[in-house]
Amino acid sequence: MYGLNRRSFIASMTGLLASATLLTLIGIGRGKKIRPPGVLEEDEFVSSCIRCGKCVDVCPTGGIKLDYSDLYDLGTPVLEGYCAVYTQLVEPSQEKNVRFKRSRENAELCLRCVDACPTGALKRLPLKKIKISIPKNDEEKCTKCYVCVAICPFDAVSVGKDGWPSFDLEKCIGCKQCAVLCPPRSITHEPYGR
C-alpha cells in the first residue's frame, strides 16, 4: 500500500541515521543551570521540556528567560531574574518583603510557570522541595547591612560567623530576591547541584 520500494527504504534509512546521529550528539550534552521552580532533577527536566516557552510567557517577574547558551537545551527556560514565589512579592523591596513577612495572612503561591507547563517538566512541588539555586556571598563586597536577613521570605539568611550573612540551604529555595535587593550586589546565585 505504501510503496516501500528499495529506493524509499534507503532514503528513509539515510534520514533516520543522519537525524538520529545528529540529534543524539546534540542531545547528550548536560550541564547545570538555574531553572524555574518545580525542577527536581536537571536530567528529568531536560527530558520533559518541549521548549515551548510558556513559562516565560506567564512569569510575572519576567525573570524566566529562554536559554541559548548550549545546543542541547536550546530554548529551555532558565531563571535569569528572580522568582517572586508569592504573588505578593512581585517587584520585591525592603519595605514590601518585611511587611509581607510580618503579615503572611493572604500569602498566595505564584508558581504560574508550573501551572503553565504542559508536560510536567516543572512540577508542583511542596515548598520545601523547591530548590532553584544556591546563594553565595562575596565577602569582599558585603557591607554586613543584613538587608538579606531582613527580606528573605523563608528566613533562610541569618547572621553567621563573624557577622557575615549565612544561608540555611535547608530553608533557602534560591529565589534570588536577596541578590536583587542586596545594596552592594554581593550575593550571587549558582545552579543547584543536581
Partner 1 sequence: MASAPSTKDAVQWARHVSQALFFAFFVLLVVGTVCSFTAGWISIVEPLGGLQVLFANMANVNLRILLRVLSGIAIFTIVAILFGKAWCAWACPVGSVVELAEYAFSRAKLMGHARRKGRAVSSEPRLNKNVKHGVLGGVLGSAVLSRNPAWCSLCPIGTICRGTAAGGLIAAAETFIVGSVVASSLYERRAFCRFLCPVSSLLTFISKLNVFFKPVVKRDSCKECGLCERICPEGIPLHKEKDLAECTKCLLCYSKCPYGGVTFKALGQSGISKKALVPSIIALAFFIMVIPISNLYLAQKEVSLSVTPASFTIASGGNVTLTAFLSSDGVAVPDRDIVWWASEGLFDKSEGYVVRYMAPSTSENKTVKITASFYGDEEYKGATATIVGNVISFKQEPTTTSIVPQSFVVKPGGNVTLKVVVLPHGAPVELVEWRLEGPGFLSSDVNGSATYFAPKEVEEEVQVRISALFRGNARYLPSVGYAVGKVSLEVTAPPKPYELFGRYYALRFSRMAVKDGLIEGPVSVGNLSLVRIRGAEAVVFNLSMPDLGLAASEGVLRDLEVYASSVKGIVDGKPMELDGSKKVRISGNIEISDGEVLAAVLSCKSLDAKQLYLAGKYVGGQEPYVPAVVTAAEVALAKNYAMGAPESYGELVKKVMRLTSGQVEADSFSIVIPAGYHLNRSSKEYGYKAGLVLNSTRLTGENMTMYAIYYKITVQIARYVGPLGFYFIKATGEENVGSVVWHFWASWGIGGGYCHRVLDVEVHAVLFKLDKASFTDVRLISFSG
**Of 5-64, which residues contact partner 1 (CB under 8 A)?**
7-9, 11-24, 26-28, 43-44, 46-54, 56-57
d(CA 104, CA 8) in angstroms, rounded, equals: 65
Q: Which is nearer to partner 1, 29 or 190 (CB)?
A: 29
The conformation of residue 35, written as its DSSP 8-state character, comes to P
CB of 145 to partner 1, least distance (A): 5
Residue of the chain from 40, 90, 96, 123 that contacts partner 1 (CB under 8 A): 123
* 183 belongs to the binding site for partner 1 (CB under 8 A): yes
Which residue type occupies 69? S
Q: Does 93 bind partner 1 (CB under 8 A)?
A: no
> 27 or 136: whose CB is closer to partner 1?
27
Q: CB under 8 Å to 179, separation ≥6 — which residues?
A: 82, 135, 185, 187, 188, 189
The answer to the question of residue 162 lying near partner 1 (CB under 8 A) is no
- Per-position x/- string for 126-145, each x denoting binding to partner 1 as judged by CB under 8 A, each - no binding: xxx--------------xxx
**Residue burial 17-56, b: 16+ Cβ < 10 Å; e: rest:** eeeeeeeeeeeeeeeebbbbbbbeebeebbeebeeeebbb
Beta-bridge mates of residue 27: none
Quick check: 50 and 119 in contact, CB under 8 A?
yes
Nearer to partner 1 (CB atom), residue 124 or residue 136: 124
1 sits near partner 1 (criterion: CB under 8 A)? yes
Spatial distance between the Cα atoms of 135 and 190, rounded to a whole number of angstroms: 6
Shortest approach of partner 1 to residue 84 CB, angstroms? 14
- Minimum distance of partner 1 from residue 193's CB (angstroms): 19
CB 149 within 8 A of CB 94: no
User: Of the ranges 70-78, 131-139, 172-180, 185-193, which one interacts with partner 1 (CB under 8 A)?
Assistant: 70-78
- Binding of residue 164 to partner 1 (CB under 8 A): no
